[in-house]
Chains A and B, each alone.
Chain A
Amino acid sequence: MARAGLRKALAGWAGFGILMCLLPLVVSTGTLRIFIFANFLAMFAMSWDILSGRTGYISFGHPFLIGIAGYTTAMLTYHLDVSLMLSIPAAVIAAMLAGTLFFVPALRTRGTYFALVTLAFMELLYGLTQVVQPKLTGGTRGLSGLPAVVSGAVPNYYLSFLVMFVIGISLWLIVRTRIGTALSAIRMDEDAVKSTGLNTTKLKLFAFMVSAAVAGVAGALYVHYLGSIAPRGIFEVNFLFTILVAALLGGAETIIGPIIGAYFLTFLLEFLRPYIPGTGRYFIYGLVALVLYYYAPKGLYGILAALLGRLKPDRPGT
């Protein structure tokens, strides 16, 4: 894209940021709390997108990275009363170390096999947190009463939104660089990228580290927002499903798409709450996701881009 395009897109980001910052003036605290969840989901979905959407190494184990970060900060603050200023960075480092562990199978396996190993990682941690050292991890019930970073709906909204916004814009800028292009190329044909002399191992490692760092930040903040962590909530297939669907529905590989997807899904879920109780909502939610994925694999972002392209007939649509 030309420089004018970049300027326009940055103006779009700024407009989005200002709009969302004004939001607490108009909406109720209840709605704001929904937005907080949407912001967290957006962070998780972007973390998935930078790794899986970009490089094509589909992760079915993102809750593993989130869980490592969440448990690290939860255990540090719960047992040792470590301050959040230390425990959250520690959680991010832990997530990145976990990310390198995640990276090992990516050296050997691709596609389907990689997705399955990541799923195995998630299930492994699910089993371990319940059995090994239940005194430390809280076992099946998990840990609760964790300290909050800030309290109240409005401060939490600003915190989650600002972090999400900063992550979003940074990732968006990263994927526009040549590294981003190279990562996309890995998805299309890894051997071809290798044959051009690029070090695909380093490139992949970069994507994994960025993804893990984002998952770490988001996971740690999420746990402190909730004030509790339990293996069932984190390592559940539904949680993985929500992250994956948010990214795919919004439009994988675009960074902006996962944000759209996360907002759309969170509000869809809230909208359905009065009609269908409990996890039954996932039926409608999944059905919508399935139909959209089937008919519009590029997601909401693709649909919006096509619509915008149609509005400006003098330019070929993107």
Chain B
Amino acid sequence: MGYIVVQGFLLSGLYALIAVGFTMIFSVGRVLNLAYGVYIMLGGYAYYFAAQVLGMPKTVAFLFAVLTGISFGVLTYLVLVKRLQHDPIAVEISTLILAVVMQSLVILVFSAAPKSMWPLIPGALHYEDLSITNNILLAMVVSWVVLGGLVLFVHKTHIGRAIRAVSMDRKGAIVSGIDPQRINLITWAISGALGAIAGVFLATYTQLTPDMWVAPLIIAVAVVIVGGIGSIIGSLVAAHIIGFMETITTTLITPELRGVFTMLLIITVLVAAPKGLFGKEDL
């Protein structure tokens, strides 16, 4: 029981981080970035390459991963999405193709074999019969720090308010002198960074594989759908619903069924309440 509570919170923090990076792009640009999972995968591989192949210090490797995520996010927007953004379906399809291209590139460079990552902080905490690895604890702390920082950034800074303005009313934002292209670019950079951070932790939590973008993408989609598009609170609540559901399924039933309940939840929510729990958007 204690295990479920602790593990559930740890996993949910990570899921919230994954989902927020994904939902930001949607709420600002009104497009779904199906290549979002790639930032997660690239973050993981960049960290692996820097720390375990080149032998750089962990902090440098972590920064390298974040920079990789940012550059790839910016590139996706500039090269691919900017020209197609009036057509959401075209963006979905092209980012899906991009994701498969990047997966194949990673296979060509690193081979398809799964790699195991060293934990960022080795060891584990023990409390009575519970034991939590330091790594996953760090993942949760970083997730919450990043999420908290993001909320502050979005509410307190000028650029953050501009991001919110564009997501609320694009035309109104333009009239007030905000350049939506620039805001979009910033959003994609943030999204890339969030994805890469989540990727480093996800890879140390599970394994590093070239197809590790699919599951997090689906988690992100699930969180956003259940929580409602464009709602950060909704995403946090939904991340905990899904995180706990998966932890309970994994510990009490079987790990393989984990995704099944998540899918059932997505289908149910989409069919019964397409706006999600906290969504204002109507698509």
> What residues of chain A lie closer than 8 Å to B83, measured between beta carbons?
294
Among B43-51, B103-111, B166-174, the stretch that binds chain A is B103-111
Interface residues on chain A, size class: 35 or more
> What residues of chain B lie closer than 8 Å to A110, measured between beta carbons?
283
Instruction: Report if B129 contacts A (CB, 8 A).
Output: no
Q: Contacts A127-B256, A293-B94, A294-B80: A120 and B104 contacting too (C-beta < 8 A)? A: no
Interface residues on chain B, size class: 35 or more
Q: Is the CB of B270 within 8 A of A58?
A: no
A22 vs B98: C-alpha distance when bound (angstroms): 38
Q: Is the CB of A124 within 8 A of B112?
A: no
Instruction: Report if B141 contacts A (CB, 8 A).
Output: no
Interface flags for B76-115 (1: CB within 8 Å of A; 0: not) read 0000100110001110111011111101110110001000
> What residues of chain A lie closer than 8 Å to B196, measured between beta carbons?
none
Chain B stretch 16-57: residues in CB contact (< 8 A) with chain A: 32
Residue of A nearest to B259 (CB): A127
Q: Is the CB of A283 within 8 A of B105?
A: yes
Instruction: Report if A83 contacts B (CB, 8 A).
Output: no
Instruction: Report if A237 contacts B (CB, 8 A).
Output: yes
Residue of A nearest to B260 (CB): A127
Q: Is the CB of A116 within 8 A of B100?
A: no
Work out how many contacts link A and B, with CB atoms closer than 8 A: 125
Instruction: Report if B254 contacts A (CB, 8 A).
Output: yes
A155 vs B225: C-alpha distance when bound (angstroms): 48
> What residues of chain B lie closer than 8 Å to A281, measured between beta carbons?
104
Contact of A120 among B99, B218, B256 (CB under 8 A): B218
A105 vs B257: C-alpha distance when bound (angstroms): 23
Contact of B266 among A117, A278, A282, A287 (CB under 8 A): A117
> What residues of chain B lie closer than 8 Å to A170, measured between beta carbons?
none
A274 vs B152: C-alpha distance when bound (angstroms): 54
Q: Is the CB of A294 within 8 A of B260?
A: no
Q: Is the CB of A280 within 8 A of B267?
A: no
A112 vs B97: C-alpha distance when bound (angstroms): 16
Residue of A nearest to B105 (CB): A283
> What residues of chain B lie closer than 8 Å to A286, measured between beta carbons?
97-98, 100-101, 104
Instruction: Report if B214 contacts A (CB, 8 A).
Output: yes
A111 vs B112: C-alpha distance when bound (angstroms): 33
Cβ of A243 to closest chain B Cβ, rounded Å: 12
A109 vs B275: C-alpha distance when bound (angstroms): 10
Instruction: Report if B274 contacts A (CB, 8 A).
Output: yes
Interface flags for A166-209 (1: CB within 8 Å of B; 0: not) read 00000000000000000000000000000000000000000000
Lowest 9 CB-CB distances: which A-B pairs, in order? A283-B104, A286-B101, A124-B263, A282-B104, A127-B260, A131-B256, A280-B108, A120-B266, A120-B263
Question: A residues near B, CB below 8 A?
Answer: 56, 58, 60, 104-105, 108-113, 115-117, 119-121, 123-124, 126-128, 130-131, 237-238, 241, 244-245, 248, 276, 278-283, 285-287, 289-290, 293-294, 297
Jot down 30 A-B pairs with beta carbons below 8 A, ordered by A.
A56-B89, A104-B271, A105-B267, A108-B270, A108-B271, A108-B274, A109-B270, A112-B88, A113-B283, A116-B32, A116-B225, A116-B270, A117-B267, A117-B270, A120-B222, A120-B263, A124-B263, A124-B264, A124-B267, A126-B259, A127-B257, A127-B258, A130-B256, A131-B254, A237-B214, A248-B93, A280-B108, A285-B104, A286-B98, A294-B84
Question: B residues near A, CB below 8 A?
Answer: 32, 80, 83-84, 88-90, 92-94, 96-101, 103-105, 107-108, 112, 211, 214, 218, 221-222, 225, 254, 256-260, 263-264, 266-267, 270-271, 274, 283
